[in-house]
């Protein structure tokens, strides 16, 4: 994943995390196709499953830590829900990039995650491809 620098504010770090995932170079068609091919092998190859499980848990754990929730059980469930939103938008954006306005998927993702977590999130900084 692209390196993102954000403030010490957990909400700002969460925004940076989500927007980095829903922008190039992370959200690109070649990466989605590679991921889809990889998933095909996850069910058949125990080593591929182990790689997928480790990367999923690492990503989920990073998400889980970002909102700063006190209850670990609740933070885990919320991270899974947020991950599902991000994954869905990443898949569609990487597969059909011309179907969305610049920044649209980021805004949808942040709005959905804000609702899931029941916290306000600051506006993301513009991507290099957007005009501020």
Dump pLDDT digits (tens) for 3-47: 444 567 888 888 998 999 999 999 999 999 998 888 888 999 999
Closest CA to 125 of 12, 48, 45: 12
CA angle 79, 81, 87 (to 5 degrees): 95
Between CA 30 and CA 2 the distance in angstroms is 16
Before 25, cis peptide (omega within 30)?
Answer: yes
89 Cβ neighbours under 8 A, 6+ residues apart: 22, 105, 108, 109
- Under CATH, domain 10-117 is a member of which superfamily? Tetracycline Repressor, domain 2 (1.10.357.10)
The residue-averaged pLDDT of 98-103 equals 95
Q: What is the pTM for the complete model shown?
A: 0.82
């Amino acid at each position: 994943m692209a390196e993102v620098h954000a403030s010490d504010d957990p909400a700002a770090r969460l925004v940076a995390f989500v927007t980095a995932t829903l922008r190039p170079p992370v959200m690109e068609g070649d990466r989605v196709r590679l991921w889809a091919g990889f998933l095909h092998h996850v069910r058949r190859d125990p080593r591929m499953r182990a790689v997928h499980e480790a990367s999923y848990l690492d990503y989920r754990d990073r998400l889980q830590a970002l909102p700063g929730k006190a209850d670990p059980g609740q933070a885990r469930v919320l991270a899974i829900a947020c991950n599902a939103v991000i994954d869905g938008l990443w898949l569609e954006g990487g597969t059909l990039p011309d179907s969305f306005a610049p920044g649209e998927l980021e805004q949808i993702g942040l709005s959905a995650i804000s609702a899931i977590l029941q916290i306000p999130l600051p506006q993301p900084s513009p991507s290099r491809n957007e005009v501020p």
